[in-house]
Amino acid sequence: MKSSYRVKLFVAIGVLSVSLMQAGCKPGNKGSGMPQSGASEVSVVTVEPQQVVLTTELPGRTSACLVAEIRPQVNGLIQKRLFTEGSAVRAGQDLYQIDPAPFQAAFNNAKAALVRSEAALPALRLRADRFKQALADKAVSQQDFDDADAALKQADADVLYWKATVETARINLGYAGVISPISGRIGRSNVTDGAIVTAYQPLALATIQQLDPIYVDVPQSSTELLRLRRRLEEGLINRKGTKLNKVKLFLADGIPYPLEGALQFRDVSVDPTTGSVILRMVFPNPDGVLLPGMYVRAVVKEGVNEKAVLIPQQAVSRDPKGNPTALIVDAADKVQQRMLTLDRAIGDQWFVIAGLAAGDRLIVEGMQKVRPGAVVKAVPFDGGLKNKPESEKKAQPAQKSK
């Protein structure tokens, strides 16, 4: 009897406990002390396409606009250097003086020979005229006239020869003074006073470089060039407007160069060793800040995307395979996962080319506590994406992700 009583008591206690637990789980039971279940709160931003100027930052080096290697055009001895190394020189300025004595002597000799040949010319011309008249009267033979005529023609030729010789001697005498063919900055001199130089020798006497304006040559991958052309053909970007030809420059220490340059041309051939083409820009350099051979970074404008989708980088996560994903809240306040295709980073945002559409509510905060299919409460993200009115953003190229 006692054991039967105990069994009935335990059953009664168990039924009472289950009833109390069920009563405590009811939403209307305020005295249960149990927390109520509810939707998780997430912060979202609404995707809004905007106009963005896409740029690419490329490394490059500066080069002089004009380069003149000064070499002598005659043999001789350097009497004096007439410039200060490292200074600015102008076109036509004297740089070196080669001993002019032998060239002056050659010029005087040629000039004297010309005068001698011109002095003999009138007598030979009169003799040929007299023989021509005498030949008509049968007073001289045909041979005598031919000899006189040949002597006259030879004298004319001698005059022309010595005129050319005089001109050559005058040119060589002028070459004794080495002048600058261009205006620019001249470097160090490779010869000193008293050095013997030869015409068109391999070693330049000095080098002059024109630095204002100055060129900036940057290599661009042929793959990127083809991708840019394909985007233009597909209408993803356009190059309308003359300002797209403007280029910004950053120096090796990261300081921006104050003056804008212009894209001059793209090379027409690909370097087989690097697989890249050269872009040449022209920058004004009035203060001589840019020197040939300096390392710089050029920001080149690719084009304008009229409907670019930019999202905060913190809203993008990666699946186990490394593919970029994002979570959105649909019209039913349920979480959905989207696979993204990213183009590049622009500031603290990702430029998305596939996976999101205008009006999507993108989860920026609270992604860790929700899963696809869950019902959530969406609130605006106050520190999220701001659609700035600026038409230009600095772009950092990134490897295309899928």
Q: Map out the domains of the chain as residue ranges.
A: 50-64+210-401, 72-97+177-203, 100-175
Contacts of 232 (CB under 8 A, 6+ apart): 238, 239, 303
Ranges 30-44, 80-94, 113-127, 370-384: which has the least confidence: 30-44
pLDDT of 63 higher than 90: yes
Q: Is the pTM of this model over 0.85?
A: no
pLDDT of 31 higher than 50: no
Name the CATH superfamily for 100-175.
Helix hairpin bin (1.10.287.470)
d(CA 227, CA 225): 5
Phi and psi based region of residue 359 (left: phi greater than 0; alpha: psi -120 to 50; beta: remaining): left
- The CATH code of domain 50-64+210-401 reads 2.40.30.170
pLDDT the model gives residue 263: 85
Ranges 20-34, 41-55, 57-71: which has the least confidence: 20-34
**Among 246, 239, 277, residue whose Cα is nearest residue 262:** 246
pLDDT of 388 higher than 70: no
Tokens of 36: 């109520």
d(CA 358, CA 344): 19
pLDDT of 386 higher than 80: no
Tell me the CA distances in angstroms from 340 to 12, 49, 316, 352, 367, one per residue in order. 59, 15, 9, 7, 16
- The CATH code of domain 72-97+177-203 reads 2.40.50.100
Sign of CA dihedral 369, 372, 374, 376: positive
pLDDT the model gives residue 90: 94
Q: Where are the beta strands (DSSP E) in 37-75?
A: 40-46, 50-70
Backbone angles phi, psi at 15, to 5 degrees: -65, -40
pLDDT the model gives residue 18: 47
pLDDT digits (tens, 9 = 90+) for 171-216: 999 999 999 999 999 999 999 999 999 999 999 999 999 998 999 9
Tokens of 239: 């190059």
| Percentage above 70 pLDDT, the chain | 83
Map tokens 């809004």 to a residue. Answer: 48
pLDDT digits (tens, 9 = 90+) for 244-262: 788 899 999 989 999 999 8
pLDDT of 242 higher than 80: no
Query: Mean pLDDT, to the nearest integer, of 237-243?
Result: 64
pLDDT digits (tens, 9 = 90+) for 122-169: 888 888 888 778 877 777 788 877 878 888 888 889 899 999 999 999
Ranges 2-6, 87-91, 242-246, 253-257: which has the least confidence: 2-6
Element (H, E) at 208: strand 206-221
| Percentage above 90 pLDDT, the chain | 36
Tell me the CA distances in angstroms from 377 to 27, 42, 167, 316, 373, one per residue in order. 20, 6, 96, 20, 13
d(CA 320, CA 122): 105
Element (H, E) at 220: strand 206-221
Residue pair 59/250 in contact (Cβ under 8 Å)? The answer is no
pLDDT the model gives residue 306: 80
Write out the DSSP string of 155-202: HHHHHHHHHHHHHHHHHHHHHTEEE-SS-EEE---S--TT-EE-TT-S
d(CA 260, CA 249): 7
Mean pLDDT of the chain: 82
